[in-house]
Amino acid sequence: MRARLVLLIVGIAFLALAPLVATAFDQLFYIDLLRRVMIFAIAALSLNLILGYGGMVSFGHAAYLGIGGYAVAILAHHGIHNGFLQLGVAVGASALVALVIGAISIRTSGIYFIMITLAFTQMLYFLGISLDAYGGDDGLRLAARSDLGGLVDLGNSTAFYYLVFAVMIAFLYLIHRIVNSRFGMVIRASNSNEARTRAIGFSPYPYRLAAFVIAGAMCGVAGYLFVNHTAYLTPDFMHWTRSGEIMFMVILGGIGTSVGPILGAFVLLLLEDLLSGMTGFVGQHWQLFIGLFLVLVVLFAKRGLAGLLPGAQRND
Amino acid sequence: MASPKALLHVHDLETAYGQSQVLFGVSFDVGAGEVATLLGRNGMGKTTTVRSIMGIVRTLSGTIHFDGRPIRSLPSYRVAQAGLGLVPEGRQIFPNLTVRENLVATAANRNASAEPWTLERAFRLFPRLAERQRHLGNQLSGGEQQMLAIARALMTNPRLLILDEATEGLAPLVRAEIYQAVENLKAAGQSILIIDKDVKALTRIADRHTILEKGRVVWSGDSAALAASEDVQHRYLGV
């Protein structure tokens, strides 16, 4: 337990100090890279809430990344740059879409649940492509980054970094609280034994739906941050491979573990960056090696990378 | 003897799994404050009867009243909410939740019990659970899991507690501990329906017995009558 705490503190300290080090060595690229990684960590954290704790294998989580992104880009396109308003719309729209998708998909389970969530996300993806007014297939340059008043200047790479960092830590804590609340207990209980949860007086449906909506809204925040990060929106935000990528992060880091999704996002994206930057065979076929790595982790680390950490226990 | 005024009133219940009918008109009552049993050899329909009552399997026909309200064909969570607390065969505790979480997660007092169950009270009934409260459900011994399953059901403050094979596969000492707890519950006025095979212990604890044979009620009566008729015990229970 203690070793874990130390590791967590070291990790947080590293991320807190990274921009200072990067600035000192004039390697600003790394601020951008880590920021991107943390945005995906946020998306993975939100997916883990329903996938890891709720057992809902949503193969459409990138939908909310896209909705958060479109909320910002479309408003900005029409000259509305108020970042708080944009955030409200991003979160609200994501929650609403999650409510609709969840209300239908949670009635099913297993392979059907996966297919329905995937199908909805594909619909949204093609909707994005058909929106010619907003760039269609080519995408849309973000007219201006979200204006958060004097609070945070998203144009400032370091300030934006710390905002993403703060959101990630806040979500980590929030999910920890949700999972250990009674609401979270029912979610976990119905994951392990749905029939039993029913027989003891709980219909899992409303609980699952609520978790699904919370996860969608949280991922909407990631989309909000992501479009500000790239300053460019494309329907690819919602591409199904993106959903798969987020799911990989969760599985790699450790399904149903608190810090696993963050770990997974870091390892997957940094490895991707490392391998694709190499020359020769590895650089050309880097996906091959990532795939191999994933297979090995799934085979030999049942609880993902988080399960390899010292003091990793079954409960967390 | 069957009376719609009983706490649980089952009348002419028929249930089938697909094409094969399992229950053929099962009727029995459990009165308030009473401890009743369903007895019979394996495969005679005891667990199916319980699952029919709880709405876990679909029934063909018959009536089930709980406290005067019809509950047949309600979804199982509604049956549970009406005040039936099932401790299922095989225990089925939540393995990924700690002992404490298992108890707290589904706790409720929907029928406004005057003396609702609390963690402290559950731990007083089963002190072993208090020692293990931070352990995950799947780290418990069989006996501890059984205690947890009973305590979990009690935390929903059921008006009728149903124990399906609660002592199956447990060591004699643990078994005695469970029966002791059942007696304590009875003394506190808890209505209980027990499915078990230990006729000796049950004639001591329970008030009323119903014996099932191939999906039909073949005998019913009180403990004195059951204890007296060795013939019935021999014929239907194999003791």
The ipTM value here is 0.81
Q: Is residue A187 predicted with pLDDT exceeding 90?
A: yes
Helix ranges (DSSP H) in chain A:
2-24, 29-48, 62-77, 83-105, 110-130, 157-180, 182-192, 194-199, 204-230, 240-253, 260-276, 280-284, 286-300
- Which residues lie below 8 Å from residue B83, measured CB to CB, with a gap of 6+? B66, B67, B110, B111, B157, B158, B159, B160
User: How far apart are the C-alpha atoms of B211 and A310, rounded to whole Å?
Assistant: 55
Question: What sign does the dihedral A179-A184-A189-A194 (CA atoms) show?
Answer: negative
A110-130 and A62-77 helices, crossing angle to 10°: 20
Q: Is residue A209 predicted with pLDDT exceeding 70?
A: yes
Within 8 A of B150 by CB-CB distance, chain A residues are none
Average pLDDT, chain A: 92
Q: Is residue A1 predicted with pLDDT exceeding 80?
A: no
Distances (CA, A) of B72 to A52, A288, B14, B50, B216: 35, 57, 11, 12, 19
A191·B106 Cβ contact <8 A: no
pLDDT tens readout for residues B197-208: 888 889 999 999
More confident: B112 or A205:
A205
Rounded to a whole number of angstroms, the CA Rg of chain A reads 19
Domains of chain A: 2-308 (1.10.3470)
Closest among B143, B152, B207, B144 to B175, alpha carbons compared: B143
Ramachandran angles phi, psi of B231, nearest 5°: -60, -50
User: How far apart are the C-alpha atoms of A93 and A256, rounded to whole Å?
Assistant: 26
pLDDT tens readout for residues A231-288: 999 999 999 999 999 999 999 999 999 999 999 999 999 999 999 888 888 888 888 9
B77·A203 Cβ contact <8 A: yes
Q: What is the pLDDT of residue B239?
A: 66
Q: B131 in helix, strand or coil?
A: helix
- Residue for token pair 């799911």: A247
Task: Write down the pTM of the prediction.
Answer: 0.88
Domains of chain B: 8-237 (3.40.50.300)
B108 touches chain A (CB under 8 A): yes
Q: What is the pLDDT of residue A308?
A: 83
B153·A192 Cβ contact <8 A: no
A107 touches chain B (CB under 8 A): no
- Residue for token pair 């089925």: B92
Is the Cβ–Cβ distance between B193 and B161 less than 8 Å?
yes
Best A185, A196, A200 member to test B by mutation, with max B CBs in 10 Å, is: A200
Q: Is residue A316 predicted with pLDDT exceeding 50?
A: no
pLDDT tens readout for residues B48-91: 999 999 999 999 999 999 999 999 989 999 999 999 999 998 88
A182·B54 Cβ contact <8 A: no
User: How far apart are the C-alpha atoms of A207 and A186, rounded to whole Å?
Assistant: 7
Q: What is the pLDDT of residue A315?
A: 45
Within 8 A of A197 by CB-CB distance, chain B residues are 77, 106
- Confidence at B3, pLDDT banded by 50, 70, 90: low
B27 touches chain A (CB under 8 A): no
**Which candidate from B77, B86, B105 shows the least CB-CB separation from A189?**
B105
User: How far apart are the C-alpha atoms of A207 and B74, rounded to whole Å?
Assistant: 20
**Which candidate from B105, B136, B153 shows the least CB-CB separation from A186?**
B105
A191 touches chain B (CB under 8 A): yes
Is the Cβ–Cβ distance between B143 and B149 less than 8 Å?
no
Encoded amino acid at A136, one letter = G
Longest dimension (CA), chain B: 49
Question: Beta-carbon neighbour count of residue B192 at 10 Å?
Answer: 24
B113 touches chain A (CB under 8 A): no
Within 8 A of A200 by CB-CB distance, chain B residues are 77, 80, 85-86, 106, 152-153, 156
Is the Cβ–Cβ distance between A240 and A145 less than 8 Å?
no
User: How far apart are the C-alpha atoms of A56 and A247, rounded to whole Å?
Assistant: 11
Residue B43 structure tokens? 């495969």
**Which candidate from B97, B104, B106 shows the least CB-CB separation from A200?**
B106
Is the Cβ–Cβ distance between B162 and B50 less than 8 Å?
yes
Is the Cβ–Cβ distance between A257 and A243 less than 8 Å?
no
Q: What is the pLDDT of residue A53?
A: 95
A186 touches chain B (CB under 8 A): yes
A189 touches chain B (CB under 8 A): yes
A178 touches chain B (CB under 8 A): no
Pairing of strands B35-39, B208-213: parallel
Ramachandran angles phi, psi of A251, nearest 5°: -65, -45
Within 8 A of A202 by CB-CB distance, chain B residues are 77, 80, 106
Distances (CA, A) of B158 to A85, B108, B205, B219: 48, 9, 19, 27
- Give a three-class secondary structure readout of B47-115: HHHHHHHCCCCCEEEEEEEECCEECCCCCHHHHHHHCEEEECCCCCCCCCCEHHHHHHHCCCCCCCCCC
pLDDT tens readout for residues A19-78: 999 999 988 899 999 999 999 999 999 999 999 999 999 999 999 999 999 999 999 999
Q: Is residue B1 predicted with pLDDT exceeding 50?
A: no
User: How far apart are the C-alpha atoms of A112 and A59, rounded to whole Å?
Assistant: 11
Average pLDDT, chain B: 91
Within 8 A of B108 by CB-CB distance, chain A residues are 201
User: How far apart are the C-alpha atoms of A44 and A31, rounded to whole Å?
Assistant: 20
Q: What is the pLDDT of residue B4?
A: 53
B105·A314 Cβ contact <8 A: no
Is the Cβ–Cβ distance between A75 and A60 less than 8 Å?
no
Q: Is residue A314 predicted with pLDDT exceeding 50?
A: no
DSSP H or E stretch at residue A109: none
A2-24 and A29-48 helices, crossing angle to 10°: 150
pLDDT tens readout for residues B141-198: 999 999 999 999 999 999 999 999 988 889 999 999 999 999 999 999 999 999 988 8
Helix ranges (DSSP H) in B139-189:
142-154, 172-187
Read off the pLDDT of each residue in B135-142 and give the average, rounded to a whole number: 92
Residues linked to residue B15 through DSSP beta bridges, in sequence order: B23, B59
B106·A186 Cβ contact <8 A: yes
Q: What is the pLDDT of residue B111?
A: 83
- Confidence at B232, pLDDT banded by 50, 70, 90: confident
**Residue in chain A nearest B85 by alpha carbon:** A200
Question: Beta-carbon neighbour count of residue A262 at 10 Å?
Answer: 28
